[in-house]
Amino acid sequence: MLSCSPVAAAFEPAAPSLGVLTLLRCQAALGLRAFETGTGRCDATHACVGLFVHVVVEDGEPVRPPQWFAAQVAAANRLYADIGVAFEVAGVREAPADQADIDGRSDRDALGRDATPAGVVHVFVVRRLADVDIAGDEIRGVHWRVRAEPSRRFVILSSIAPERVLAHELGHFFGLPHSRFAVSIMNKTPRDEPPPELRGFHPSELAIMRRERDRMFGDRTLVRRNRRSPRR
C-alpha cells in the first residue's frame, strides 16, 4: 500500500502498477498539508480561532497555492489583533474538481451544507465564484448561510481574491455589514484615502465584533483552540 506521508513519499519507490490518478491524489494530499503547516500557529496572547480549509484540487494541484492562503491568514491576524483574536488552520481537506466553479445559490449551499467539524470557521477555496446578483460577473469572496439552515455558515474565497478578502468575509462572520467608513475594509467603495495599508476597522465596528466574538465563544459557535481569553 502506498503511503502519502512526507517521510514515506521520500523513501518509497514508485510502484510500476501504480495508476496516474493515485499518484496525483497522493501529490495533492502532500501539497495540501502546506495549507496547515505553512500558516503558522496563533499568537499565544490572543484567543485562537480555527479555520478548516476545503481546497478544490484540479489535475493534482490546488486552485491556489498555500502561500496565497498564508497571506490571507496573516492579513486577518494583523487586523483582528484589535479584538484579541487570532486564526490558525485547524485542518485542510481536498474538495473535488466539480466544485471549482460556483455558479448559483444552490452551489453555495451544497459546499457547506454538511461541513464538519463544528466550532471552526469553514473556508472553501474555489477557482471561480459567480456573482448571483449580476449575470456574468465574478466576485472575490462571500460569507454565506445555507438557506435551509441559516445557522450553518461559512466563507468562500475565489482564486482571484487579494490578500484581505478573508479578513473582509470574516468581518461578516463576526457580525459586520458592509460599511461607509472610509477606514474600514468593510467599505467596498473605491477610494484613495486612507491608503489600503492603513485600512482596518472603525471603532464602532470593533465594538460589534467584540460582542459577536463573546457570543460565539459563549454558545460554542466557535471553540477557542487555546485557553487565552481575549483582552481587547
Does position 10 have pLDDT exceeding 60, yes or no?
no
Does position 11 have pLDDT exceeding 60, yes or no?
no
Task: Find the angle CA(43)-CA(45)-CA(51) to the nearest 5 degrees.
Answer: 45
Q: Which of 29-33, 34-38, 228-232 has the lowest mean pLDDT?
A: 228-232
- Express as a percent the part of the chain with pLDDT over 70: 85
SS3 category, 12? coil
Does position 12 have pLDDT exceeding 50, yes or no?
no
In this predicted structure, what is the pLDDT of residue 228?
65
Which domains are assigned to the chain? 18-219 (3.40.390.10)
Pairing of strands 61-62, 47-58: antiparallel
Dmax over Cα atoms in the chain, in whole Å? 62
Scored b (16 or more CB within 10 A) or e, 64-83 reads bebebbbebbbbbbebbeeb
Q: Are 53 and 88 in contact (CB under 8 A)?
A: no
pLDDT band at 2 (very low <50, low <70, confident <90, very high): very low
pLDDT in tens, 137-179: 999 999 999 999 999 999 999 999 999 999 999 999 999 999 9
Q: What is the pTM of this model?
A: 0.87
Closest CA to 121 of 155, 165, 84, 167: 155
- Mean local confidence (pLDDT), 207-229: 94
- Mean local confidence (pLDDT), 106-126: 97
